[in-house]
Homo-oligomer: A and B are copies of this chain.
Amino acid sequence: MLFRQLQYLVAVAREEHFGRAALRCNVSQPSLSSGIKQLELRLQVPIVLRGRRFLGFTNEGKQIIEWAERVLSQHDAMMAELSKMRGSLEGRVRLGAMPNSSPIIPLLSRLLRKNHPDVEIDIHFMGIEETIIGLQKYTIDVGVTYLQSELLSGLKSLLIYDERLSLLVPDTEEYEGISSITWKEAASLPLSLLSGSTHERKIVDDAFAEAGEKPKSYVTSDSIMNLIYHVMFAGLVTVIPQNFLLMSGKFSGVRAIKLVEPEVSQQVGLVWSSTEPIMPMARAMVSIIKELKASGKLEEHWG
């Protein structure tokens, strides 16, 4: 049962703990232990660094894990294909999404649940580069990211929506009646922005740069939710994707103002590996996006 052993191995890699890994695999801890040992015996190479507890993997082990994940990914895809042939798609979609796409993910999962009630969905938020690596290494099935990246060669993609940037401000008299604002003007306001060197932050910086500004950010955070809270409770303003606010009035005490000169627009879409045949989970997600776009639910979602 080599497949099982590979599953044990990746479980140990994820949990870094034999007991929890066994739990995740629904076997007893000794079974998992001996499974790993059998694997090392058959592959003729030590994999786990063992002192009286889990100490990590050997270099060979790390490589084996990468391959094991690929093997299992294909295995799971085969099983999914089979379940579909038998009637209903079963299994798990591993979705890698950029945080900016967070508000629309529920639309996807809702449709997924409707069309394929037996499919679970694992959502992991990650950066664009990480998403692409995940697709290449088969640790995720599909990604949701910006499409215009150069990194997407060798991958297939499908547009979901255009992301527009807005300025989020407190709903006070200071900003009353303002329906649009230029980046230049915004630069002089008390800003809180996303941190780091992410693609998302770069878009904002580029837009300011195009308006000849290089504003400093009073508060820097890696969480959009946290930025919104800063607008609510600290009187700062921030730049967020429109879709975070356009679902009518889910946040109170804040308002979104259109940012112009320039009007920044980014394509957000589904990305998946261009293998042939297409992995069944990826295909399922693609048809869901198509259904979503055709149904008009997207526009409805954000008014």
Contact = CB atoms under 8 A, between A and B. Distances in A.
- Which of A45, A64, A78, A81 has the most B CB atoms < 10 Å from its CB? A78
Interface stretch (A67-75, A159-167, A221-229, A264-272): A67-75
B68 A71 contact: no
A268 to B, nearest CB: 22
Contact of A64 (B43, B82, B137): B82
A251 interface: no
Interface in A151-207: 153-155
Contact of A66 (B64, B136, B277): B277
Given A75-B71, A78-B68, A133-B276, A86 B45 contact: yes
A148 interface: no
Nearest to A67: B78
B66 A85 contact: no
Q: Is the interface of A mostly helix, strand, loop or mixed?
A: helix
Contacts of A276: 133, 136-137
B67 A74 contact: yes
A277 to B, nearest CB: 6
B70 A74 contact: yes
Interface residues of A, number: 32
Interface string A1-39: 111000000000000000000000000000000000000
A8 to B, nearest CB: 14
A102 interface: no
A23 B182 CA distance: 75
A163 to B, nearest CB: 26
A67 B77 contact: yes
B45 A82 contact: yes
A44 interface: yes
A39 to B, nearest CB: 11
A100 to B, nearest CB: 25
A88 interface: no
A60 interface: yes
11 contacts: A1-B2, A45-B85, A45-B86, A63-B277, A67-B74, A68-B78, A70-B77, A71-B74, A71-B78, A74-B74, A136-B276
5 smallest A-B Cβ distances: which pairs? A67-B78, A136-B276, A154-B154, A71-B74, A70-B74
